[in-house]
Amino acid sequence: MNIYVGNLPYDVTEDQLQALFAEHGKVTSVSLIKDKYTGQSKGFGFVEMDKQSEAEAAIKELNGRSVNGRNITANVARPRTERSPSKPRRW
């Protein structure tokens, strides 16, 4: 099950995020979303867990928890939707 994690402090690492969710079950992957130019975290990421029951428990326990002074958001990740290509701007 894929979990969206938002409102993360910008200094949180993938290892720290993995350890936070590992308290509730087996984490199969962690991905922090970073700015492609600066490499700085954008303040959100995704955690994947094998068992749905463990993922639901992690969401229940971690949603709203304070991490380094910020209350994080944790919920089931929605499937990514395709964006339509942007129209060229007219000046």
Domains, in order of start, for the chain:
2-76 (3.30.70.330)
Q: Are 1 and 76 in contact (CB under 8 A)?
A: yes
Apex CA 16: angle with CA 12 and CA 18, to 5°?
A: 125
Q: What percent of the chain has pLDDT over 70?
A: 90
Specify the pTM: 0.85
pLDDT interval class at 82 (50, 70, 90) = confident
Paired sense of beta strands 2-6 and 73-76, if any: antiparallel
DSSP category for residue 25: S
Give percent of the chain above pLDDT 90. 85
